[in-house]
Copies of this chain bind each other. A is one copy, B any other.
Amino acid sequence: MATSDKTKTRDAGKTKARILAAAKKEFAKHGLAGARVDEIAERAKANKRMIYHYFGSKEDLFQVVLEEAYLDIRTAEQKLDLDNMPAMDALEKLVRFTWAYYLKNPEFITLVNSENLHRARHLKKSKLIPEISAKFVGMMDELLDRGVREGTFRLGLDPTQVNITIAAIGYYYLTNRFTGSIVFDRDLTAPEALAARIEFNVETIKRLVAA
């Protein structure tokens, strides 16, 4: 008989995955310091002991959550297939993708914020992150070169600055949408506001790179 009838059967992989998902939520919501291990256990419907069994400590769990988050966005980026269209279109696609990813995965932003509050001390220990980052950086290198060859991009642009700027104009808007809505006295999270922002961002980047 199959073991899937009663979900009470033991499954280390699934339990681990449930803990990771719960931890991601909790860390994203409260940051590393504000997150509660008991809360993660409850949300994951796992015993707290399991967290220490699989991940060792709260900090180690945070590191795994963070690595998975980076892995996820970098993997999605690789799937964009930016080589089969004009460089300017590819760049626009990347700007829209980045925005959409942040919108759909708000935990990514809060996790990265939390990690920077801790001066990237968990990311520094990671072997995985430099590897996948190199590919991501190379992507923009090639895209800018191609744009110059196609005559649509100006010469001498620093790929890192462009990458940072694309992230910045989306990330900042979203991470600071709560204080921003008060400062600018308008609901920055309204669908129309979000739609207006991504169009503005596309325009900003196009003007930035234009020949």
Contacts and interface: CB of A to CB of B under 8 A. Distances in A.
A171 interface: yes
A169 interface: yes
A84 to B, nearest CB: 26
Contacts of A210: 207
Contact of A204 (B196, B200, B208): B208
A12 interface: no
A109 to B, nearest CB: 10
A200 B204 CA distance: 13
A132 to B, nearest CB: 9
A169 B173 CA distance: 10
Interface string A151-195: 000000010110111011101110111111111111000000000
A101 interface: no
A172 B164 contact: yes
A167 to B, nearest CB: 6
16 contacts: A34-B117, A110-B117, A116-B178, A120-B181, A120-B182, A123-B179, A137-B185, A158-B196, A160-B186, A164-B172, A164-B197, A165-B200, A168-B171, A172-B172, A203-B208, A207-B208
